[in-house]
């Protein structure tokens, strides 16, 4: 006679457990892939949104940096005709995102604050703030919510200060895009691959982990 546990045989229970384990093993990779694709999709959307915001501010003011290359009172380093804002100069990156997404922040409106809007004097919102960010409070206390990509890194913003609609991006091979603004995410690997990914770069078999998500590929 087969041993029964609550009207089920031990064999039946073990069979059900085995089936559940198999199904879980199948489902986990599917869920993981779907989650990864969702994060990539979010990064693509935010990359496009930042580029659009920069274009709109340019259309409104004819520039995105002040004459002395400042944004929200923060100096931006310009090499040649190119300015870059990223995790390498995070203060300037945060200042740019704040000026285009939170111009009514206490950081700009307090009389005692040393921080002033450098370009967006009309206080137009060109970029919808990320979820959880309070655009009324001081942005300097919320920098972790100032447009980080789904993997936690600031995006990289490239600005052609010459504004001649010819922006060189350092992919492999190097290319020139039409426009003055480009943005990319470092992607899942969190490394700055100069905007390269396996679709737009010439990679050897050992270095095809390039996975940046670039505005010029969208």
Q: What share of the chain is helix, strand, coil (3-state, %, to 5)?
A: 35, 15, 45
Q: Can you say whether residue 143 is alpha, beta or left, with left for phi > 0 and alpha for psi between -120 and 50 degrees?
A: alpha
Please check whether residue 17 lies inside any domain of the structure. yes
| pLDDT tens per residue across span 72-121 | 999 999 999 999 999 999 999 999 999 999 999 999 988 888 889 999 99
Distance CA(36)–CA(188), nearest Å, equals 8
Please check whether residue 129 lies inside any domain of the structure. yes
Strand-pairing partners, residue 168, are: 176
Strand-pairing partners, residue 78, are: 83
Q: What is the pLDDT of residue 218?
A: 85
Q: What is the pLDDT of residue 205?
A: 46
* pTM of this structure: 0.82
Please check whether residue 83 lies inside any domain of the structure. yes
Regions of the chain with pLDDT less than 50: 1-2, 204-205
Please check whether residue 2 lies inside any domain of the structure. no
Nearest in space to 43 (alpha carbons), one of 203, 200, 197? 197
Q: What is the pLDDT of residue 1?
A: 46
Q: What is the pLDDT of residue 31?
A: 58
Q: What is the pLDDT of residue 177?
A: 86
Please check whether residue 185 lies inside any domain of the structure. yes
Domain count of the chain?
A: 1
Q: What is the pLDDT of residue 30?
A: 59
Can you give the residue range of the structural domain that contains 156?
8-217
Please check whether residue 1 lies inside any domain of the structure. no
Please check whether residue 127 lies inside any domain of the structure. yes
3-state secondary structure of 118: coil
Please check whether residue 3 lies inside any domain of the structure. no
């Amino acid at each position: 006679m087969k041993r029964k546990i609550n009207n089920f045989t031990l064999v039946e229970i073990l069979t059900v457990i085995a089936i559940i384990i198999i199904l879980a093993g199948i489902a986990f990779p599917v869920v993981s892939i779907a989650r990864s694709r969702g994060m990539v999709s979010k990064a693509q959307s935010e990359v496009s949104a930042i580029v659009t915001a920069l274009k709109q501010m340019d259309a409104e003011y004819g520039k995105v940096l002040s004459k002395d290359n400042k944004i929200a009172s923060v100096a931006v380093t310009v090499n040649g005709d190119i300015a870059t804002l990223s995790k390498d100069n995070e203060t300037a990156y945060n200042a740019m995102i704040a000026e285009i997404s939170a111009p009514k922040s206490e950081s700009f409106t307090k009389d005692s604050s040393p921080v002033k809007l450098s370009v967006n004097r009309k206080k137009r919102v060109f970029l919808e703030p990320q979820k959880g960010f309070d655009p009324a409070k001081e942005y300097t206390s919320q920098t972790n919510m100032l447009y980080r990509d789904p993997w936690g890194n600031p995006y990289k913003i490239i600005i052609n200060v010459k504004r001649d609609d010819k922006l060189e991006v350092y992919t492999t091979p190097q290319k020139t895009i039409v426009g003055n603004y480009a943005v990319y995410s470092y992607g899942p690997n969190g490394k700055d691959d100069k905007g390269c990914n396996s679709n737009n770069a010439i990679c050897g078999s050992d270095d095809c982990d390039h996975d940046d998500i670039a505005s010029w590929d969208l």
